[in-house]
Each structure stands twice: as C-alpha cells, then as structure tokens.
Structure 1
Amino acid sequence: MKNLLAALVMTTSLFSASAMAEELRIGFADPLSSIDPQLNNHAGDHSVAQHFWSGLTGKDAINMQPGVAKTWRNIDPLTWEFTLFDNAVWSDGQPVTAADVAFSYDRARDVPGSVASVKGFIRTVDKVEIKDDHHLLVKTTVPDPLLPVSLSSLYIVSKHVGEKSTTEDYNSGKAMVTNGAYSYVGYTPGDRVLMKRNETYTGDKPEWDTVTYRYIANPAARTAALLAKDVDVIDKVSVADISKLEKSEGVKVYAYPGLRALIMQPSFSAQPSKYLTDKAGNPLKENPLLNQKVREALTLAINREALVSRIMQGGATVANQWMPEGTFGYDTDTKDIPFDAKKAKELLTEAGYPDGFKMTIHAPSDRYLQGPETAQALAQFWTRIGVETQVEVVPFSVYSGSANKNEYAMTMIGWGNGTGEGTYAMTSILATPNKEKGVGASNWGHYSSADLDKALAEATSEFDNAKREEIIRGAVKTVMGDVGIMPLFHYKNIWASRDDLKVVPWNSDRTVAMQVSKIKAD
C-alpha cells in the first residue's frame, strides 16, 4: 500500500507538472496477467511490454527494425551474429550488454507461474555465445530463417536486476529497470499502467511525454470513457458502438483488416470429462470429441456468416483457417466451411451419437471482443443438432489456468498471429504440447498430429520463402482436415480516438502509444 501511495503521488506530480506536457491516455481491452515481460504470451502483456522493453530485434507492421541489436546476419545455417547498440543503457544508467541477452534467454525458458510460456520464441536457440559486451552469436539447433522475427517478441531484461528478481518484483516496480521507449512510473493491477518517455532510448523518440494505459474491460465502458474525454484512444471498439462513434463530434474511428482469429479448440483428452455427458447427465465412457465425425459435425453446424453479421455486425470476416486471406501461409485450396446442420446430424449418427450428448463449453468473460456472445450462439447451433450445449463464462485469470491444463471440453482462444505468417500458430496452438521443446504452450485442447509437427520442423528450417509457404499450406490442409481446431472469424482491428489523433496499426492487434500521433495542422 505504501508503494502504491508513493506511485500515486509521483504520478500526480509527473502528469500535471506542465501544461505543455504531451499526455496520452489509452483505454485498452486485453487484461494483463503481469508486467513481467517474460511471464505469459498474452496479448495484453505484449502490448504493455512493448512500451518498456525491446527484443533483440524489433518490427513494425511490415518491416524488421533494430531492437537491442542494431544489425544481424546469418553467418552459417546454425549461427546468427548480432551487434548491439554501443550507447544503449537501462533506465538506471547501466549499459545494455550481451550478458543481458544471454540472461534473458535463460530466464525465459522457465518463468515460475507461467500459464502461456514465451519459450516458443526461442525454441530453436541452442546457446548464446558472448564475444564481447556488444557482440554475440546465437546458435540454433536447426537452421531457422525466422529467428530474427521470433526474437522480436522475446523481451530483453536486465541481468543485474533480473537475476535477483521475481515476477512480483516486476509487478511492484522494484525490478522495472527498462530499455524501451518509455520508463516505468506505476502499476495498479486490474486498473492502469503509468509511464513516461525514456530520454535515453536508442530508437525513435516517442511523441508522448507521459502515458496512462488504463484497463477498461467492458466495450461500452471504453466507448463511454472516450466520449466523456476520460481517455484519448480506445481499442477493440464494440461493433455496436461504431455508428455512434462515427457520428460523434470530436471522434474518429480507425478500422483495419486484422490477423487475430477467434478459434474453438476441442479437447483431445482420452479421460472422461464432467463437461461431456449423456442426455441424462451421466458421464460418457469416451470423449466424443476424439471422434473426427463428431468434430466435423460440430464445425458444420456453425453458421459463420451469421456470427459475422449478427454477433460481430460486420466487424470481422469469416475464417476457414488460422491466417486470413492474403497472408503468408494462407492456403487457397482450403475452402470456406459450409453451414450444413442436416449433414451435421447425419455425421453424429454415423459416429454413434444419434441422440447427441450434453456438452459445456467455456469462454473468458474479459478477454475476447464478443467472446461470450459468440459462445452463446455456438451453444444454440450445437443444441439444434442434438448436442445440448451450455456455456460457462469465467474471468480469464481462472480460465487460462484451467484451459492450459486441458480441463475443459471446448475452449475459446483468440490468436493474434503476431509474426504475420503461419508458423506462429503452428508453434503455439497447434504443435503437440511439449514444455521442453517450447511448443504447444497455448494448445489448450492438446491436439496432436505427427504431420503437423513434422511440417513445423520443416518450415522452421526452410530458408526458401516459396518452399516454406508451401509447407505451411500443407499444414493448413492437415489441421483443417483433422478438424484439429474450429476457426470462426478474423477480427477487424478497430480503434477510436480524439479527432486530432491518428492511429495506425502495429503487428497483430497490439495497442501501443507509439502507434498514436497528433495530426499535424496544414
């Protein structure tokens, strides 16, 4: 409590010291599990981390950019050489060195309390060899052409502070010695993060002197906060509010095609589940979702066009795979999944469930835009074919732990495809879960395919872009043929702001102060 009061006093001083100070107030939707940048591979955690930390490399929406390293090159199939900025310092004045990189990669492999490990970003890293303070070699276990892309999402923390700190030390501010565009001021869990411009940052100077990054879970509340001028920018605008915002004086709406897919993951557990019973409520001896015809029936019973038009009100596009059309790895041979309730019923009968069964599905209450409403719609679709479906909506803090243990029969996940190509999902939500290898960390249904795992290994090692894309397209055919997941739609990225601000998208669906700028007067 004493630390919190001190932070609030400091905040009042910093954020009101000068009428000329440029302050940005963002109302964001994705919950934070922590401000420890290596704890969990969650969207909200990434959005906050990108203010405070840099990866070894960095990226914008299109191109790779410098991060902690200013240059890099592949010197043999298993070796990348990185040269760090020689003038970069931590927020406490200590230099950023190769030892910090080596420490960060060791730490990230096993952060206590993680439910969505970031280890997948360095799954091919064998070791880091320090040549001197500003030069290092990263040795990989296999040739990895996408290593610089992956390393942009693994944040570098300071060795001199991090080696004696826990996640709680980051959350309390004690370990918040940072190297990003902004420096730490304060953090109130479940409420807001406060930051100020880092004057020693080696990248482009951020436009805003101070930033208040405020968590507002409810979409309507975010809209109300913007209209009341309590915040300057909001993300994940409710589709129900778009028309109102577009007509509101002093407000602009920015909508862009998005990479994030909302996906259902059936459980492949061989164990009986309390969330799968017969019509009388008795446990089933076998998991019906292990039967491919049952999974085919469920995916055919989904009216995706209705989800997009009625639930999302046009704020999404129908998905038939995890990447949207036009992206690297999208498979043009995979067609849209038809809505065919009659065929779905026939498949249930063929699978040995002519009378169907009961199922409870789960969705987080505070994570995905229109997630609970989508789950309720799915329950109606599946109930109509004989699978009586109930929905349980729980806070993400509870949901993520149970989902990670494959305790649910059917889980919902919003996957951001943050690298802009198909192997990110293959690594995290489709590969057979293997903590030691750093794959399958968010494969909550524990789908497992030897063909998919082989494709991931081949795509990871393939330097020829055309060949790598063909491998990814083959993986799409494998997963969708198995009905390993049930993609529903791809979100559009929608922000709203004051009309004197411009918002441009970064990778995936991140929301960061660096993507917001003042519109220059003519």
Structure 2
Amino acid sequence: MTIRLQAALALGCLLAAAGLTQSVTPALAEDLTVAIKAPITGADPHLLYSPNRNMQLHVYEALVAQDNNLRPVPDLATSWKVINPTTWEFQLRDDVKFQDGTPLTPEDVIFSIHRAQTIEGVRTFHAYVADVASVEASGDHAVRITTKVPSPELPANLATIAIVAKHAVEGASSDDFNGGPAAIGTGPYRWVRWTPGQDVTLERSDTYRGDPAPWDHVKFRFITDDSARTAALLSGDVDVADAIPASLFQRVNNSGRAKIVSGTSVFLHYMTIDRRDNPPFVTDIDGKPVTKNPFNDLKVRQAVTHAINRDGLAERIMGGGAEPAGQFTPDGFDGHNPDLLPASYDPDQSRKLLEEAGYPDGFGLTIHCLNDRFTGDVQTCQAIAQMLTAVGIHTKVETMPSSVFWSKATGENPQFSSYLAIFGSAAGLSSNALDVLAAKWDPVAGTGRNNAGGYDNPELNALIKKATSTVDDDQRQELLQQAAKTAIDDVAIVPIFFLKGAWGVRDGLTLKPRGDMYTMATNIEPAAE
C-alpha cells in the first residue's frame, strides 16, 4: 500500500470514532501503485510492443478506442461513415486539448497516421495502416481517409494508432517521449518519467475533457519475478499486481488483504503443423528423415488435435489460468464462431486415425517452444509432447527464449516443423489471427507471417480476402465465422487454449479486465461502499 494510502487509512480510523469518515473517503483515490511483470522498452507511442502500449494508452488516444472486449468505440472521433468503398470520414471531437493546452486539429491526425506508416523499427504499427493511401482534412473537425482497397476494418485498426501533437513531435527523437517535449497526449494521464528497468510514473491530466481520472498519480513498477510481485501486493507495497500465476491464486485469495480478478483474453496458445515436403523435425519410427510428410494427411492432423487434453492443460498445468480453445478468438470477441467447440480429447480416436493414415506405429516429431512468454509455457509444451507420444507420435521438446525462437520460427524458410506460441491481435480482430496464422505466406501481400508450416488453402485465402473487403458488419462476421470453420476443419493450426489475465487486487479496489490483458488505471477504482 502506498504511503499516502496508509496515511489516509490511519486518518480514516481516527475520524471514524467521531463519525466524520465521509469527508476523508476521497483521499483513498489519490495515488495508485501497480506491479507489472513486463518492463517497457520505450516511450514512443508509434513503436509496437505490448507492455509499452499498455502505458501509452493512458497518455495518448486514438480516433477509435476499444472496449474491454477490444471492439471499436468512439474516442477522438465521435463517429465515422463510409463515403464509398475506399473512402471514410471521421468526425473529430471539438473539445479536445493536448496536455500543453493546444487544441486537436486534423493536421495532428494526418501527421500521426503518416508517422505510424513510416517510422522505422523492429516492431511497428505499419500493418494496421497498410491500407491507408491518404488522409486529408475535410473541415475544421473532420478527416477523410482514402484506402488502397476496401478496408471495412479500418476503424478497429485505427484504434492502434496514437494521435500525437504535430507541433511537439515533428523532428523529435525517441528520448523526447520520456517526459520530454514530445510526451504530449490527449489522454487522462500525462507522462512524468520512465526509469528503464524500474518504473513509469504518470499523473492526472488537467486538460482531459472527460471525467477526471480516478487517481492523482499512478506508478507502474516492473517486478518480473512472480513470487516477488505477489509478495509486494500482499505486503502492501503495491495496490495491484498483474500476471499472477495460477499457482499463487490461493495464496492471494486466502491472504485477507487481496483477491484475484481474472478474465479470458484474446491471446491464443496454438500449435503449428508443418505441411512442407521435407519437414526438418519429422522422422520415421526409427528416427530417420521421412520421405513423405505425414502431416499432409488430414487424418494425421486430426489425430494431433484429438490427442490433446485441453481441459487438463487449462485446469492442471495452467491451474485455471486458461480456457480451452477450438478456434481463433474466444466467446464475446470479433469473429467468434459459436459452433466451433474445442476438439474432444480422444486418444483412442487418435490412434485409430493414425492407423487409417498408414502410421500404425506412429512417427517421430520435435516441437519447439518458448520458455519466457507466460507462466506455464514450458510445462504446457512438455505435457503436449507426452500426450502426442501416448498416441504414437513420439515427441521431443526443445525450448528457447523469444529472442532466439522467432528468428528461427518465421521467414521464408522456417527452421521448425511444429512449434507452440501465442498470438493476439492488438486491434482485437479475428481476421488478423486468420491472416497471420493460416493465410498463405506472401511477403509482398504481408499475409501468413506466422504460417510457418507452409499451409495454403485457396478456399480459406478467398474467404479471408472477401471478409476483409466486406463493408456490411453482419456479412463480414458471417464470413469470418465461415473462414474460422474452414481453417479448423482442415486443422490449419491446432488451437490449445486462450490465456486468462489474472490480477491481484488489494481489498477496497475494483478492476475490470481487458481482453488484451492490459492493466489500465482507468479500469481500477475504489470499491463502492
């Protein structure tokens, strides 16, 4: 608990005896300290890295915001409409000021989108505005965006693009965003300081047009160790701690000081399947290279998906910190198909399918996994290997950190045959997941970036393309659901589970989970009495 909160509680106890507690209740809403697992790597809002974006959403806004299920809602734009299939008009709010007091103008929007399209970096938001051909003012409080092709998901994609002040950012360096002259947004909090490896400090913005933010100051402390982060919560050093592993849920809930709040996220844990002719980590039963890839047989792919006990993984390995998955997005999110349930766990069926496919004795496989992405990633990988081995796919495991893994897993010639990883769309769009994980790998078109197995289904590719060019929302959702079913029926990937976000929250506070597992101070408030 912060010093200021301790003082407020002590004062409240003294005044309670005199019946004067009403006057000091607001003092509890002054400062908030949050422990987060992942340190940020930069303050520039146009460079993409999830922990960074979590911080930046407090300071910078976009034309379109996201609700807690990541669906688009008005933000700096009050509304938008389609002028023609490749032209959109966004009406801007007329009461927005940057944190230096200057008003928002269409020129700021034009500058911000162009900057997001052209900024250099390892991770950027280029893909989310790749369809944008031009942006121009169409009045004092409106912008018109022309796209290269029909782009019905433009509003959702624009939710990822922070609007910055042109006069402050033009010519600025990345260092200027760390509390410097470029760190000027329109959001409820203003940037004070980022101390690399330690913390980020924000303070309430007096220029924000909406209701005042619930906290005067917010400090995000980086505590990467799960036990240390939980201990900081239970000792009162912090008010909220994110990414609490399931193994510590009981400790938090039984502490008498805090509780666990959780919610299903859009992050899908999945397994790739190599469809190439010469898979590097698939062998025959004697360990020799195969002359024919067994995964090109649908029955073999079905055998894999029925060999996996998703309920067991979610409940035992993840300790309730995951939800079994049967498709690309969870219930309540964009493109979810209610008819696609997680594949049944049926090892006998798996063995039967392998025999029918001509592999009665099975074959060998090595799967590659991350060891630093989420709590339980290695254990999940090992458990899945055991499940596959039990039905005849004799599976070995190799794990490695993200920095090594992704350089080998993607590109023109991926070095793995099957791997386990997670994917979640920053825009909350199921089309992003379909496009990245299951569409044909095409570096020119930018599709199939994580389609490491060389999967290519013309029917699916056509459905994804049609869905992402259909303006009618209901028709697009039907097409996305159809695309998901096509991909899953053909076992383009093997969905395992959706990660759940889990926060430890001290007594006296409430927290609303978001589907991207971001920890938002605007979603944390004192509990109603």
> How high is the TM-score relative to the length of structure 1?
0.84
Change (3 A) 1:420 1:272: closer
Aligned to 1:29: 37
Aligned to 1:414: 422
Change (3 A) 1:397 1:305: same
Matches within 5 A, 1:37-186: 37-40=45-48, 42-61=49-68, 64-92=72-100, 95-115=103-123, 117-131=124-138, 134-160=141-167, 162-165=169-172, 170=177, 175-186=182-193
Change (3 A) 1:444 1:90: farther
> How high is the TM-score relative to the length of structure 2?
0.83
Give the deviation of 1:129 after TM superposition: 2.0
Aligned to 1:341: 347
Aligned to 2:393: 387
Give the deviation of 1:513 after TM superposition: 1.1
Tell me which of 481, 484, 489 is aligned to 1:481: 489
Looking at structure 2, the residues matched to 31 and 291 of structure 1 have their Cα atoms a distance apart, in angstroms, of 43
Looking at structure 1, the residues matched to 44 and 415 of structure 2 have their Cα atoms a distance apart, in angstroms, of 26
Looking at structure 2, the residues matched to 28 and 466 of structure 1 have their Cα atoms a distance apart, in angstroms, of 38
Task: Give the gaps of 5 or more residues in structure 1.
Answer: 1-14
Change (3 A) 1:295 1:189: farther
**Is 1:235 equivalent to 2:226 in the alignment?**
no
Aligned to 1:302: 308
Which residue identity does 1:36 align to in structure 2? D
Change (3 A) 1:136 1:282: same
Looking at structure 1, the residues matched to 196 and 293 of structure 2 have their Cα atoms a distance apart, in angstroms, of 39
**Is 1:452 equivalent to 2:464 in the alignment?**
no
Change (3 A) 1:442 1:230: farther
Tell me which of 497, 502, 507 is aligned to 2:510: 502
**Is 1:323 equivalent to 2:329 in the alignment?**
yes
Tell me which of 254, 261, 279 is aligned to 1:254: 261
Looking at structure 2, the residues matched to 239 and 73 of structure 1 have their Cα atoms a distance apart, in angstroms, of 44
Which residue identity does 1:240 align to in structure 2? S
Tell me which of 374, 377, 385 is aligned to 1:371: 377
Looking at structure 2, the residues matched to 458 and 471 of structure 1 have their Cα atoms a distance apart, in angstroms, of 8
* Paired residues of 2:178 and 2:193 also in contact (CA < 8 A): no
Tell me which of 189, 195, 212 is aligned to 2:219: 212
Of residues 91-100 and 367-376 in structure 1, the stretch that sits farther from structure 2 once superposed is 91-100
Looking at structure 1, the residues matched to 195 and 513 of structure 2 have their Cα atoms a distance apart, in angstroms, of 26
Change (3 A) 1:326 1:73: closer
* Paired residues of 2:371 and 2:399 also in contact (CA < 8 A): yes
Of residues 433-442 and 79-88 in structure 1, the stretch that sits farther from structure 2 once superposed is 433-442
* Paired residues of 2:437 and 2:493 also in contact (CA < 8 A): no
Secondary structure at the aligned position of 1:298 is classed as helix
Give the deviation of 1:81 after TM superposition: 1.3
Which residue identity does 1:511 align to in structure 2? T
* Paired residues of 1:98 and 1:130 also in contact (CA < 8 A): yes
**Percent identity of paired positions between Structure 1 and Structure 2:** 35
Looking at structure 2, the residues matched to 436 and 90 of structure 1 have their Cα atoms a distance apart, in angstroms, of 38
* Paired residues of 2:159 and 2:427 also in contact (CA < 8 A): no
User: How far does the alpha carbon of each residue in 1:301-320 deviate from its partner, in whole angstroms, 9 at most, with x for none?
Assistant: 11112112211233333211
Give the deviation of 1:401 after TM superposition: 3.9
Change (3 A) 1:103 1:362: farther
Looking at structure 2, the residues matched to 186 and 24 of structure 1 have their Cα atoms a distance apart, in angstroms, of 15
Give the deviation of 1:24 after TM superposition: 1.4
Change (3 A) 1:269 1:99: farther
* Paired residues of 2:164 and 2:185 also in contact (CA < 8 A): yes
Give the deviation of 1:479 after TM superposition: 0.7
Give the deviation of 1:269 after TM superposition: 5.1
* Paired residues of 1:368 and 1:414 also in contact (CA < 8 A): no
Larger Rg: 2
* Paired residues of 1:254 and 1:503 also in contact (CA < 8 A): yes
Of residues 125-134 and 231-240 in structure 1, the stretch that sits farther from structure 2 once superposed is 125-134
* Paired residues of 2:354 and 2:360 also in contact (CA < 8 A): yes
Give the deviation of 1:360 after TM superposition: 3.3
Of residues 241-250 and 358-367 in structure 1, the stretch that sits farther from structure 2 once superposed is 358-367
Looking at structure 2, the residues matched to 194 and 315 of structure 1 have their Cα atoms a distance apart, in angstroms, of 29
